[in-house]
Amino acid sequence: MSTIKTNLYIFYIIILAAVVGSGELFAAETKTFQITAKKYEFIPAVINVNQGDKVVLQVTATDREHGFGIKELNIDRVLPKGQTVTIEFIANKKGEFTISCTKLCGWGHFGMKAKLIVS
């Protein structure tokens, strides 16, 4: 095999490895969810995504300031009343993750939970 052909093969292998390694060749879906946070609940209460998906959560607190936390994913955001907060991440780990209110919001605060399921 000639040196030129060998160099071309090496070049193609490097390019293929870079594309596959970046995830661009098998890009996952972007999944967007509208979430409402209000007196002791998140609506919807369950969010289902696939591993590798880009997740976009548009969260609005309707009654007062709340928090939005997913401990395992290092997400902790304040949700000012009446404002939509956008939270984006890649669902890298499979499992069930608890979403909780991270801002003390009243008597039902500790029960204000939802679930993120990554399949």
Mean pLDDT of 109-114: 96
Q: Give residue-wise pLDDT tens across range 3-55.
A: 766 656 666 666 655 555 544 445 578 999 999 999 999 999 999 999 999 99
pLDDT value at residue 72? 95
Mean pLDDT of 72-93: 96
How many CB atoms are closer than 10 A to CB 114?
20
Neighbouring residues of 16: CB distance < 8 A, sequence distance ≥ 6: none
Burial string for 45-79 (b: 16+ CB within 10 Å, else e) reads eebebeeebebebebbbeeebbbbbbeebebebeb
* pTM for this prediction: 0.75
Q: What is the set of domains in the chain, with CATH numbers?
A: 28-118 (2.60.40.420)
**Chain length of the chain:** 119
Mean pLDDT of 108-116: 96
Mean pLDDT of the chain: 88
pLDDT value at residue 26? 54
pLDDT value at residue 83? 97
pLDDT value at residue 24? 47
Mean pLDDT of 67-74: 96
